[in-house]
């Protein structure tokens, strides 16, 4: 069974849209720093408007449309997930905490046993 791969070819228009989106991000950052004497409200407004314009331009390009479709498909898959009930989630969390506690105790006992074995018995370094 052969699988076919569909590959989207970027057109010049898409490349121009991506370049414009990048230029808008740079312009928004430049405006933010150049408008520092105008006040924080104008600074942040210029930054947010420039970034919003960049996002709009990006989502009109083919990669932007693909990203949006991917997000929509991912959200559709998340809706299919069967989440555990509250009681089951609490039980599983308690199991994890109990396991971590037992493992920590085991590792601490192993460490202290090896410390006693090497330092006290073999090397004779009494504390």
Tell me the DSSP string of 89-124. Answer: HHHHHHHHHHHHHHHHHHHHHHHHHHHIIIIIIIS-
Angle at the Cα of 44 from the Cα atoms of 27 and 63, rounded to 5 degrees: 50
Query: Can you give the pLDDT at residue 41?
Result: 94
Span 100-127, pLDDT tens digits: 999 999 999 999 999 999 888 888 776 5
What ranges do the domains of the chain cover? 11-81, 84-127
Record the pTM: 0.58
Query: Can you give the pLDDT at residue 1?
Result: 56
Rg (CA), the chain: 29
Query: Can you give the pLDDT at residue 31?
Result: 95
| Dihedral angle computed from the Cα positions of residues 43, 45, 49 and 67, in that order, rounded to the nearest 10 degrees | 90
Ranges of the chain with pLDDT below 50: none
Query: Can you give the pLDDT at residue 11?
Result: 84
Query: Can you give the pLDDT at residue 111?
Result: 96
């Amino acid at each position: 069974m052969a699988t076919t791969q569909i590959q989207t070819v970027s057109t010049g228009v898409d490349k121009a849209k991506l370049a414009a989106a990048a230029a808008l991000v740079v312009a928004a950052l430049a405006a933010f720093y150049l408008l520092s004497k105008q006040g924080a409200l104008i600074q942040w407004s210029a930054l947010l408007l420039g970034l919003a314009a960049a996002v709009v331009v990006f989502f009109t390009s083919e990669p932007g449309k693909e990203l949006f479709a991917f997000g929509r498909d991912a959200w559709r898959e998340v809706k299919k997930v069967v989440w555990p009930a509250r009681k089951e989630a609490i039980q599983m969390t308690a199991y994890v905490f109990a396991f971590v506690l037992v493992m920590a105790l085991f590792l601490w006992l192993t460490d202290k046993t090896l410390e006693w074995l090497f330092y006290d018995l073999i090397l004779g370094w009494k504390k």
